Amino acid sequence: MTVVALGESLEETARMVVPPRRGHPEIAWGNVVGTVIVLLALNLGLIALARPLTADPLVLRLHAGCLLVLLYLLYLALTLPHLWAR
């Protein structure tokens, strides 16, 4: 497991270092976001196939509310600089 993890880490590091050095940092960010989404979806999907997941409705509502607040803050962070630039 350690050898596989080391190989995976070295590969990810190489993917993260090269694009910004060539002037394309957005590719590195896309790699980070894509890797996190794929690993979460894959891991949660395999776990759910093995044993169905259950959660308290109150916990799900809290997480959904936090997600909506974070998405709104992200929207503001991306939109406000463009509004003030005019």
How does pLDDT run across 28-82, given as a tens digit for each residue?
888 888 888 888 888 888 888 999 888 899 999 999 989 999 999 999 999 988 8
In angstroms, rounded to a whole number, what is the distance separating the alpha carbons of residues 20 and 3? 27
At 37 the pLDDT is 87
Is the whole-model pTM more than 0.85?
no
Give yes or no for a contact between 46 and 31, defined as CB atoms under 8 angstroms apart. no
> Where are the domains positioned within the chain?
1-54, 55-86
Does residue 4 have a pLDDT over 90?
Answer: no
At 86 the pLDDT is 65
3-class secondary structure for 38-73?
HHHHHHHHHHHHHCCCCCCHHHHHHHHHHHHHHHHH
Cα-Cα end-to-end distance for the chain: 53
At 70 the pLDDT is 96
